[in-house]
Amino acid sequence: MAKKVGHWINGKHVDGQSDTISPWYNPATGDVTGHLSLANRSETEHAIDVASDSLQEWSATPPLARARILFRFIQKLEQHKDEIARLITEEHGKVFSDAKGELVRGIEVVEFATGIPHLLKGEFSNNVGKNIDSWSVRQPLGVCAGITPFNFPAMVPMWMFPIALACGNTFILKPSERDPSASMMMAELLSESGLPDGVFNVVNGDRNAVDTILESPKVDGISFVGSTPIAESVYLNAAKYGKRCQALGGAKNHMVIMPDADMDMAVKSLMGAAYGSAGERCMAISVAVAVGAAAEPLIQKLVPLVNKLRVGPGLGAEPENEMGPLVTGAHKDRVAGYIERGAKEGAKLLVDGRKSPCFEEEGFFIGGSLFDHVTADMDIYKDEIFGPVLCVVRVPDFQSAVALVNGHEYGNGTAIFTRNGNYARQYSEQIEVGMVGINVPIPVPMAFYSFGGWKRSLFGSLHVHGMEGVKFYTRTKTMTGRWPEGYGSGNEFSMPTLG
């Protein structure tokens, strides 16, 4: 029987009232898993009101008490790890071990957030003037919202809400319509961990819910992760309504392979980075930049491996499949369309994922594809395909590789594979990308660093998690004070200076 999912508001499940229903699928079978009632304006406003009413008490709760709830939340996540990972695989399609991996990376952010008593410590300066002290504190931003994509249904929300809650904000999560269950489960676990009702709410919806959040004067901050056009529009609208916003967008991540690279290491890394999670990762490598003599050995080693990729359901296969299905049938058609387009544009299609036997199955499967001789003017190079399609671009030397990567509109992640320390150093110095790997294909920063791209991969000035996350979810207040006994003589009309 198809599941029904409504919302989580004020500490409990709430049935959706809206007649606008959106189906979501098990991508491995193509069957409809459930029906989501997409929140209308009044349902979304209700969640915002609840978050707003809960703010005063939660923000006054000592940070250590907030951290203790998060400690219990970590335990609950550990206890239910397999259950949540299973939900992710059943709704997103990624293989089970990968779903567990995303949970682990999410839990690491909660672990970071438990350090909030230390992270919120302010600054103090004695005697900034005679008998005058100055100090600053970080106070919560207010009611915050998170709008998240389908590709990491647990980790991306956990980039946001653990730090937001730890900082004393209340939160409204608007997850992707494609895989809502992990968010609902996390809401239940937060509640079981002792989080007061109303502090964390989940509104399942689409653009309507997002617009209501953007327009509400009660919402102070918005974290968005998704595709670039929507990220840009959310960011511009948030600015229009006077809200703080960080909006992370799409990507086209390049891996540069120098001729001196450890080629086996590079190829092995490339396989996981390009085809893992069926390429539906914002940090997936979708372009391999082969420098000079690196091209031939790279292609020779890649082709048989791409042909041999084990594609199938993310659950139940022994040994586990390497790549699951795409998230929807529409997305499968889109990816297949790009393969068609790439071949027409003149790139050399060495492996065609549409010819894999999995392509004909009921689920939303497509095999891995590999293009050689891709050039910067082709759509398959310019656009984010978000599928298991790897483009190889051949360039003559290091500087051409740098120029190619810097010429792309996106700047999320990149990697260089080389044994030469100078190339590695020059690359990390010159490249206009937010996250750089040196012989590491997917350089996703740990929770105590911050995650974010440059250029059209991020709108806003602060990245997520790490100290930038704490800064995003707090406002600095700076006090300057003295006590009457130290007061000098008479009125002061001029700007105070140390003199």
Residues acting as catalytic residues: 282
Residue 226 near ligand NAD by CB under 6 A: yes
Q: Which residues contact 294 (CB under 8 A, 6 or more apart)?
A: 257, 258, 259, 261, 263
Q: In sequence order, which ranges of 137-259 are alpha helices (DSSP H)? A: 155-166, 181-192, 207-215, 228-240
- Rounded to an integer, what distance in angstroms lies between the CA atom of residue 220 and that of residue 146? 11
Does residue 206 interact with ligand NAD by CB under 6 A?
yes
Of residues 146 and 198, the one with the C-beta less far from ligand NAD: 146
Give the residue, chosen from 26, 148, 170, 183, that forms a contact with ligand NAD under the rule CB under 6 A. Answer: 148
Residue where the block lists tokens 């992710």: 88
What minimum distance in Å lies between the beta carbon of 233 and ligand NAD?
6
Q: State yes or no: residue 149 binds ligand NAD (CB under 6 A).
A: yes
Binding of ligand NAD by 384 (CB under 6 A): yes
User: For residues 259-298, which are near ligand NAD according to CB under 6 A?
Assistant: 282
156 binds ligand NAD (CB under 6 A): yes
- Binders of ligand NAD in range 157-176 (CB under 6 A): 174, 176
Q: Nearest Cα to 452, choosing from 256, 164, 220, 225?
A: 225
- Name the nearest CA neighbour of 227 among 285, 280, 155, 278: 280
* Residue spans of beta strands (DSSP E) within 209-336: 221-225, 244-248, 253-257, 285-291
- Helix crossing, 228-240 with 207-215: angle to 10°? 30
**CB neighbours of 192 closer than 8 A, spacing ≥ 6?**
72, 76
Q: Which stretch binds ligand NAD (CB under 6 A): 17-25, 110-118, 225-233, 367-375?
A: 225-233
Q: How far is the CB of 120 from ligand NAD (least distance, A)?
A: 25
Residue 249 interacting with ligand NAD (CB under 6 A): yes
Q: Which is nearer to ligand NAD, 26 or 457 (CB)?
A: 457
Give the total of residues touching ligand NAD (CB under 6 A): 28
207 CB-side CA count, 13 A: 4
- Asked if 230 interacts with ligand NAD (CB under 6 A), we say yes
Q: Are strands 369-372 and 348-351 parallel, antiparallel or unpaired?
A: antiparallel
x/- track of binding to ligand NAD for residues 434-473 (CB under 6 A): -------------------x---x----------------
- Give residues in contact with ligand NAD (CB under 6 A): 147-152, 156, 174, 176-177, 206-207, 210, 225-227, 230, 234, 248-251, 282, 384, 386, 412, 453, 457
